[in-house]
Amino acid sequence: MSTLFVDVDTQLDFLYPAGALYVPGAERLIPTLANLTRYAAAHGIALVSTVDAHTENDPEFQSWPKHCVAGATGQHKAEPTLLARRVVVPNRQGDFAIDGAQQIVVEKQTVNAFDTHTFARVVRHLHPDRIVVYGVVTEICVLHAVRGLLQFGKPVTVVTDAIQQLTGQGCRDAFDEMRSSGALFATAADFVG
């Protein structure tokens, strides 16, 4: 059974208090995110990581404070979430070369990775039997990823101790929606022991 790990937006601007769009408490996820990343590498599990990669005047900044501007420090992924053999896939039409990569980093400019030209194509190319999702923010980008991934008709599991929400109510609503749509829930220990 082939497994795909989907690591959603584990970037400096979201994970750390100095970040431009810090998610309170997200820094506590770092050890768990590191364990999941190492586990994927050690067990040959495909790892797809979404990252915001905004332009200086990105339209998203009309709704959210400026964050994750491409090339800025805050746009980088947290070091413990990176694997050595990685490929960055920009959000544009055309071919991409991902075979042999341990980690595929998919750039996006909106909260929904499925708005890109590439994310769904990367998932289809990897053709997983099951999908495991974690990252930030539970009720926004994680929820959008889970919604879209469920459309592949494969089991989708959300790692509950490797996600962070903005609000308790938003998290409860997201969990209710994911559960009613067929998502499963587990902890990192269910995968990494």
pLDDT of residue 1: 80
Instruction: Name the architecture of domain 3-192.
Output: 3-Layer(aba) Sandwich (3.40)
State how far the Cα of 12 lies from the Cα of 89, in Å rounded to an integer.
19
113 in Cβ contact with 141 (< 8 Å): yes
Torsion angle defined by CA atoms of residues 173, 132, 69 and 25, in that order, rounded to the nearest 10 degrees: 60
Per-residue pLDDT averaged across 39-46, rounded? 96
Element (H, E) at 80: none
For 96-149, the pLDDT digits (tens) are: 999 999 999 999 999 999 999 999 999 999 999 999 999 999 999 999 999 999
| pLDDT band (50, 70, 90) for residue 188 | very high
CA distances from 55 to 60, 68, 71, 75, 145 (A): 10, 9, 9, 11, 22
Percentage of the chain beyond pLDDT 70 is 100
Instruction: Decide if pLDDT at 193 tops 90.
Output: no
Locate tokens 């101790």: which residue?
161
For 47-92, the pLDDT digits (tens) are: 999 999 999 999 999 999 999 999 999 999 999 999 999 999 999 9
Count Cα atoms within 13 angstroms, Cβ side, for 87.
16
| pLDDT band (50, 70, 90) for residue 173 | very high
For 134-172, the pLDDT digits (tens) are: 999 999 999 999 999 999 999 999 999 999 999 999 999
Per-residue pLDDT averaged across 41-51, rounded? 97
Torsion angle defined by CA atoms of residues 8, 58, 66 and 118, in that order, rounded to the nearest 10 degrees: 10
Full-model pTM: 0.97
Instruction: Decide if pLDDT at 187 tops 90.
Output: yes
